[in-house]
Every structure is written in C-alpha cells, then in structure tokens.
Amino acid sequence: MRRLARIGAVALSAALLFSGCNANPELGSKGASQTPQSSQKGGTLNILTAQTEISFDPAKSQSLAITSLGLVNRRLTTWDISPDQPAKVVPDLATDIGKATDGGKTWTYTLKDGLKYDDGSPITSADIKYGLERSFAAELSGGLGYHKGLLVGGDKYKGPYSGGELSSIETPDDKTIVFKLNSPYGDWPWVASTPAFTPVPKAKDDPNTYGEKPAASGPYKVESYQQGVALNLTRNDSWDPKTDDVRTAGPDKIIFKLSQDPTVAAQALISDSGDAKNSFGAQFVPAAQLAQAQKDPNVKGRLVTSQPGALSYLAFNTTRGALKDVKVRQALQYAADRQAYKIAAGGSISGENATTLITPGIPGRQEYDLYPAPDSGDMAKAKKLLAATGHASDLKLTLVTSNDPIALAQSQALQQGFAKAGVKITLQPLDSNALSEKVTGNKGDYDLYLGSWQPDFPSPNGNIQPLFDSSQIGNGNYNTSRYSNPEVDKMIKQAIGEVDQDKAGQLWAEVDKKIMEDAPIIPLTYTKNSFLHGSNVQNFFIGAFPAYPNYLKVTLKQ
C-alpha cells in the first residue's frame, strides 16, 4: 500500500494495484479529466503497474471493489462510485445489500437470477460459502479478514482443506445465503463487498493455481498470465450486463503490463504515443513527472488527482520509553513540519493537513483540531511542553520508514523539523516486507513509524478499529502505535454493533476525539493521489472515496 503505507486494508503504495476533498483545482471538483460519457465498446486498454506479479485469487486479495479483481470477480455487494456522489454500497450478485435480523447478528442475502460463470455454469450460494470458507485456509493468506472474527466459530475454523464447513454460513437453497455473527455488526454490507465474498466453485479450486485463471463471474476472464510481464483479460461472454449495474465493460481486452518502472511509465503517458494513448498508470505519478505534467497544457488535462483521502501519519510506539507518557506524545504533536513533509511528496497537490483520524469522504466524520499549529509546526510550544515532562534535551528516537525515495524524503523532512524542537530522530529505512514485519510483528522494537492508511470501505470503522483497537496489536495486525485503552476498546465495540448508521457515525466521531486526546499518532496529511492516462482513455475518474480510479467504468475512444 507501500508506503508501508498501508499494510493493511488497502495499502496505498506507489506500486499498488489497488489490492484503499478538493480535486486538482484545474480539474474541477470531480477528480476527473472529463465528464463520464456514454459507454463505448472496443479496443485494448493497457494498465501499467510496477507490480511484478498479480493474483486473481479472491482469498489472497486486498483489491478494492472498483479496481483489478472487480473486473473478473463479482461479490455479494459492491460499490457505486461516481465522480460527484458519496460512495454507496450496492447489490452485486445479491438482490439487495442484505437483510439484518436478530439485532444485526444475522444477515441474509438472495442471489439474482441468471448469474453464470465464464463456462456457462450457474453461480450458487454454495459457491459463495465455499469461496468464503477457503479464505480461512493458511495456504491462502494475505486477504482481507474482517469476516473471520465476526462469523460464529470463525476464530477456530481452519478452512475447507482441513476443517470441513463453517456452520455459521448457511445455504438453505441455491439462491440464499445466511451469515450468523458473534455480535451485531452494522457494516456487514460493506464487509460483503470485500474480495473473499466472491463465488468459487469447489470443483475448480486448486489453491496453488486458482489465482492464475479463476472462474470468472465479472465481464472479463483471465486469458493468459506471464509473471513479471503481463496478465491479459478478455471478455466473459456469459456475463449478463442486465444483472450488473456498476460495470461498463467497455474495452474488448485489458492488459496489465507488469514490472513497469513508475518514472518510465509516467514519461510514456506524458509523451502519449503508441500504446500509451490507450493506457493509464496504476501507480501514483512520481514527484518529478507530476510537476512536469502540471506545467504542460497538453498533459494537464490527462492528469487526474483525487480528493484528500488516505491518512498519512507518524505512529508513536506507546509501549516504549518516554513515549509511554501521554504528555510527551502531546508535546510532539506540535513538532511536525507538515509543510516540508508535503513538499517532499510534490507540494500541495500531494495532500492536505490532517487533524482527525476519520478521513474525508467517510460519512460521520467531524472536523476538529486538538493541537493547532502552523504548517511548519510550533517548535517553541513543543519545546516548552517537553520541558515540562523532563525531556527537553535528551529525547532520542528511531523512526522506521520505507526505503521508497518519497517516503525517505518525507521522513527526512520530519527528522529536520523535530531537530528544531530539540528531538533527535535516527532514520531506519527498510524494504516493504521488512518494514511490515517489524511494525506488525510481536516484538515492537521501534519508536516511530511513518505510515499511511486507506480504509477498505467508507465507514469510520475502517479508519479506527484496525489502527487503534488493542486486539490489533502485533500478530500481523496494524495497530502500529501499540495503543491500548480499555475505554476506547469498549467505545469501538459499541460503535461497531450499531446498525443505525447515523447513530454509528456519532459514536465513531466520539471515539476519534477520545483517541487523539491520548495522541498515539500524529495525523500528517490526507493524501491526494495523482494518476496519468492516455488521450484515448475516457471515463477515467476518482470519486470522493477511495482515492483511486474506478477501473470498472473506463472506456476507450473509438
């Protein structure tokens, strides 16, 4: 994601294939380079990504509902993303977003008529049950797992390869599926839009190879895959557009071109010649090319910038040394030089200053600022507050960060800002795997961590619970501040169980402010993501959430 960036929920990394707000002023408020037009059919669309491999196995995926896997794999529910409307959860394979009973502990879905795989065989509720069950298997790790702790018995279930069936998923007939939860969960319709809720026919399942050519339920199927080179999609003739309100299925073919250097890819899109005319970049535009694109009137109209989205933040390891003291953490809030931090990422187009944990575009968000300071920080106040804690001149901390050039430059900007407040920061750059292991593992041997977080779905739950619930410390989870507050845990549980979304929003806003009183992180910016596309690419836009293009609507000029 990775910045490490987002090691969880949809990490926002410069090379992410999207496995997570003012638009660019010149592009208007829609975050789009043109108003969406009527669907046009035909052509070959190229998607340029730095990834060297890609799997379409839904059990292993963190892909957003509107990006790569959404072209091939449908889910029980999905997202309706448009340029100028809030994100909505809508039916996909199901007839509605779910019917809640038993106070929100039981959710029932009915499948639409006429659903088929690419081989013409029918999609059944048993296939969705099996697809979800296989996501519990150790052989298929890496996917989103919100459902695992929610389904009754999910904490002990080991998957279908060794553990039989999960009885809390019931299929009374071929078109009905029922989920039994441990406790009420108001965001279950959003959870049902995650990749694991894709149907998988048991007869076609090979956990070692399924991701290379899965049973397609969407408008495209995987035609061929060469690791490190390309993955080719062609039309699924069994897909019925009458059952699908969110996918346009414009191009005849879609080619994911792998192992693309971000700088080279951006330069090709700027040049807009040959295949680049029919291409777009899946990775963020590097700072140098971003500046170049903004200055060139022939390119500026093909640069699409999201509204403020993912939260970039500096996490304090609240279990380490002086950082155990909430007064120290509060003092350090004033030492962040957000101005230099943004400049390192390309300037104001890279994001807007953050003060809350719930990010823009999420219903229920309330704005506040507990630690007001100039963009460059308030070093005098930071020094004064640190002096009151007895750490005015002896505070030395280690910051672990990605070795990605932009993340490293941002870390250096923060390092220099903290030095002005008398705090010495030593940087420890790591590659994405080592960084993820260090901050999500059980040792907790770091002081500070620079990360970024894109929720997996537009609910405050996606901002708060993964990062601040004490159950999410270590064991591969993402509470990187190792923050533990029993009162906050209780508040999170209450908000999660509220089915009424307006009431839930108010509860989450209270949780947000309560956590920031304890200052386990410094919210830095709500990041903006910029993407380039070729001149023949149409209907390329970014909604209020998420801060990524909607692949499902893209067409080519004919």
366-418 per-position pLDDT tens digit: 999 999 999 999 999 999 999 999 987 789 999 999 988 889 999 999 999 99
Q: Do 353 and 208 have their domain in common?
A: no
Output the CA–CA distances (angstroms, integers) from residue 316 to 378, 439, 523, 529, in the order listed: 19, 11, 11, 25
Distance, C-alpha 123 to centroid of its chain: 28
Assess whether pLDDT exceeds 70 at residue 138: yes
Give the model's pLDDT for residue 50.
92
Q: Do 323 and 439 have their domain in common?
A: yes
Count: domains in the chain: 2
**Cα–Cα distance measured from residue 277 to residue 267, given in angstroms and rounded to the nearest whole number:** 12
Instruction: Report residue 86's pLDDT band, with 50, 70 and 90 as the boundaries.
Output: confident
Instruction: Report residue 85's pLDDT band, with 50, 70 and 90 as the boundaries.
Output: confident
Count Cβ neighbours within 10 Å for each residue of 71-83 and write b for 16 or more, e otherwise: bbbbbbbbbbbbb
Q: pLDDT (tens digit, 9 = 90+) per residue, 525-558? A: 999 999 999 999 999 999 988 989 999 999 999 9
8 A C-beta contact, residue 294 and residue 505: no
Domain termination site, one of 185, 217, 249: 217
Give the model's pLDDT for residue 394.
82
Q: Looking at the domain assignment, is residue 125 inside a domain?
A: yes
8 A C-beta contact, residue 18 and residue 542: no
Helix-strand-coil split of the chain, %, nearest 5: 30, 20, 50
Q: Do 373 and 507 have their domain in common?
A: yes
- CATH number for position 347: 3.10.105.10
Q: What's the rounded mean pLDDT across residues 334-354?
A: 92
Assess whether pLDDT exceeds 70 at residue 13: no
Q: Do 209 and 317 have their domain in common?
A: no
8 A C-beta contact, residue 288 and residue 263: yes
Q: Looking at the domain assignment, is residue 442 inside a domain?
A: yes
Which amino acid is present at 16?
A: L
Q: Looking at the domain assignment, is residue 5 inside a domain?
A: no
Q: Looking at the domain assignment, is residue 191 inside a domain?
A: yes
Residue 383 domain boundaries: 311-527
Pair of tokens at residue 127:
């296939």
8 A C-beta contact, residue 196 and residue 131: yes
User: Would the pTM of this model clear 0.85, i.e. be above it?
Assistant: no
Q: pLDDT (tens digit, 9 = 90+) per residue, 451-506? A: 999 888 889 999 999 999 999 999 888 999 999 999 999 999 999 988 888 899 99
Task: Write out the E strands in 60-124.
Answer: 77-80, 88-91, 99-101, 106-110
Residues in CB range of 15: below 8 A, 6 or more apart = 2, 49, 50, 51, 262, 283
Q: Looking at the domain assignment, is residue 283 inside a domain?
A: no
- What does DSSP assign to residue 50? S
Q: Do 346 and 456 have their domain in common?
A: yes
Q: What's the rounded mean pLDDT across residues 264-270?
A: 97
Assess whether pLDDT exceeds 90 at residue 345: no
Q: pLDDT (tens digit, 9 = 90+) per residue, 145-184? A: 889 989 999 999 999 998 799 999 999 999 999 999 999 9
Q: pLDDT (tens digit, 9 = 90+) per residue, 272-321? A: 999 999 999 999 898 889 989 999 999 999 999 999 989 999 999 999 99
The Cβ-side half-sphere exposure at 541, using a 13 Å CA radius, reads: 22
- CATH number for position 136: 3.40.190.10
Q: Looking at the domain assignment, is residue 162 inside a domain?
A: yes
Assess whether pLDDT exceeds 70 at residue 360: yes
Q: Looking at the domain assignment, is residue 438 inside a domain?
A: yes
Instruction: Report residue 24's pLDDT band, with 50, 70 and 90 as the boundaries.
Output: very low
Q: Do 461 and 353 have their domain in common?
A: yes
Assess whether pLDDT exceeds 90 at residue 16: no
Q: Looking at the domain assignment, is residue 228 inside a domain?
A: no
SS3 355: coil
Give the model's pLDDT for residue 337.
97
Q: pLDDT (tens digit, 9 = 90+) per residue, 406-416? A: 899 999 999 99
